[in-house]
């Protein structure tokens, strides 16, 4: 299985800040990397697919980059609704695996 490692596991920030979440894979996954946002009690929602492509309706304050084994999700100008848990996921090979999650909380 391809292992996905996210860091940090928790991130404290203020409204208006920019934050970056790191996701590493232990295998080259090309551009098969997606990001999801999950709020408490809700299903995850797709934010970014194929490293940097924004899902329809996702604000441009979200951006993704990377290739191969190292990927980042950046949220600029954090808004109150952005405080949530974020997961990366590789879809390069089965089983499709997720990172452990990064909780973005209010400082």
The contact set with other proteins (CB under 8 A) reads 1, 31-32, 34, 36, 42-46, 49-50, 55, 87, 89, 91, 94-101
Q: How far is the CB of 87 from other proteins (least distance, A)?
A: 6
Nearer to other proteins by C-beta: 82 or 90? 90
Alpha helices (runs of H) in the chain, residue ranges in sequence order: none
- The DSSP call for residue 65 is E
Contact between 90 and 50 (Cβ < 8 Å): no
As measured in angstroms, the least distance from the Cβ of 91 to other proteins is: 4
Of 44 and 72, CB closest to other proteins:
44
Q: Which CB atom, from 25 or from 34, has the smaller least distance to other proteins?
A: 34
Q: Cβ distance 62 to 48 under 8 Å? A: yes
CA-wise closest residue to 71 among 97, 99, 43: 99
């Amino acid at each position: 299985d391809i292992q996905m490692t996210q860091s940090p596991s928790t991130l404290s920030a203020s409204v208006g800040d920019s934050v970056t979440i790191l996701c590493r894979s232990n295998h080259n996954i090309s551009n098969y990397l997606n990001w999801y946002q999950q709020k408490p009690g809700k299903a995850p929602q797709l934010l970014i697919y194929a490293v940097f492509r924004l899902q329809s309706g996702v604000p441009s304050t979200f951006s993704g980059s990377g290739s191969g084994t190292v990927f980042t999700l950046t949220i600029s100008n954090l808004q109150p609704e952005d405080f949530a848990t974020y997961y990366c996921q590789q879809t390069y090979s089965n089983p499709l695996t997720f990172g452990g999650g990064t909780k973005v909380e209010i400082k």
